[in-house]
Amino acid sequence: MKEQKTIPVSKTERSAKFVKTGIQIGGNYIKHYSKKLFNPQLDKEELNQDNAVDIYKSLSELKGSALKVAQMLSMDKNILPKSYIDQFTQSQYNAPPLSGPLIVRTFTKNFGKSPEQIYNKFNLISTNAASIGQVHQAELNGKRLAVKIQYPGVGDSISSDLKLIKPFAFRLLGMKERELNVYIKEVEERLLEETDYELEVKRSIEFSKACTLLKNVVFPTYYPALSGKKIITMDWIEGLHLPEFLKTNPTPELRNKIGQALWDFYNFQQHQLRAVHADPHPGNFLITPDEKLGVIDFGCIKEMPDDFYRPFFSLISTGVMEDKAATIDAFRQLDMIHPTDTESQVEFYYKAYREMISLFARPYRSKTFDFSQPDFFEQLYGYGEKISKMPEFKQARGVKHFIYINRTNFGLYTILQELKAVVHTDTYQPHL
């Protein structure tokens, strides 16, 4: 992939990039409607494809929070047309990398030394490039290392980037500004944490230590002395990302083994630690040669306060849903039903949310669950698509914690679906 020699850092440069992309999208619409004059049956497939390519190209050059939002959207099959999903999925671990001179400059700025002065060997060509940073291979004292380097200006541009993303988000998601702001604020807080590499090293060490008891899950060792505000050094873990792994035609037994490791990894954190790795996209995991799940990124952690955890998981794992009054009470605690709702609105949201959560909770309701069954996902995505078109769901509902917890669990389900895994779902259960 072609290297990127510069990155827009200032607010003016980044704003100009968004304006240019907006003009390109406007041109795509003009082209689409011109063709539609001569062919009234023309659908929006070509328009979506052109827009997706232009938006992804722009976001991938900007890096940072702009590209991270694209990555988040790529995990949700309900929100965007397929052409956007296909383009944005590249942001998971295949964005255009930065050139060698920019990497050297980051090292000298942070350590006062070039990479060659720190490591015995350092490959200036990156192995993976994602939204906030890219990874390089290095060696020191005979040990293979992975060195993650944050893109210049990423941390400083989060707030201004999210403001610039809003017009695209309005059009793609069909939300009003007031409703979108609920989500933007939570995303901003998590992204600011993700650009704090010192915090990431601390959390990575804490979480990998807490999760050592998990079967078939492995973590790199982290090196704080070789890390800093913009650079993280850790052990190199050999392995394949999920798409590469699936191309090797793994046996059903191996798919189940990796799926079980993934399920245990997430549910142990949710229910034992009350904080969870909230970035479940394939770029953050490797399947190692000895058939284990390697977890290589703890940048995004979502903590679950008691006033969210208890009502949310009581709906999923206990008999609360059989009791209408208790269910409505939990929905009120989670701000899914508002104090100002009329009786008919309460009844509408009670039925809609009850159906949604019953679907979502199905894996928790039996000791094992087969994630390869298409009817489960057809119902799940079908229901998501149905409510996304309802005017009643165009207003913001639900506490802010839903954004990352839903992202985490639906991301987990999606990976398990791709693995076609059958897992034991009773290994780590909610504590209520």
Please give the average per-residue pLDDT across 11-31, as a whole number.
54
pLDDT higher than threshold 50 for residue 7:
yes
Closest CA to 207 of 292, 295, 279, 282: 295
Within the chain, what is the greatest distance between any pair of CA atoms? 70
pLDDT at 397: 81
Q: Cα(1)–Cα(5) distance, rounded to whole angstroms?
A: 13
**More confident: 390 or 34:** 390
Q: Tens of pLDDT along 364-378? A: 888 999 999 889 988
**More confident: 422 or 96:** 422
pLDDT at 282: 82
pLDDT at 75: 44
Dihedral of the alpha carbons of 181, 182, 187, 190, in degrees to the nearest 10: 130
pLDDT at 32: 45
What does each C-alpha distance from 373 to 59, 105, 412, 421 come to in angstroms? 35, 50, 15, 9
% the chain with pLDDT above 70: 71
Residue 164, helix vs strand vs coil: helix
Q: Cα(210)–Cα(53) distance, rounded to whole angstroms?
A: 41
Amino acid letter for position 286: L
Most confident range (mean pLDDT) of 17-26, 231-240, 298-307 is 231-240
Q: Tens of pLDDT along 227-245? A: 998 999 999 999 999 999 9
The DSSP bridge pattern shows strands 275-277 and 231-235 to be unpaired
Residue 10, helix vs strand vs coil: coil
Q: Cα(19)–Cα(25) distance, rounded to whole angstroms?
A: 10
Q: Tens of pLDDT along 241-260? A: 999 999 999 999 999 999 99
Q: Cα(423)–Cα(260) distance, rounded to whole angstroms?
A: 5
pLDDT at 270: 95
Phi and psi at residue 232, to the nearest 5°:
-125, 130
Q: Please name the residue that has the structure tokens 């009329």.
A: 342
pLDDT higher than threshold 60 for residue 95:
no
Q: Cα(217)–Cα(420) distance, rounded to whole angstroms?
A: 19
pLDDT higher than threshold 90 for residue 292:
yes
**More confident: 339 or 381:** 339
pLDDT category at 31 given cuts 50, 70, 90 is low
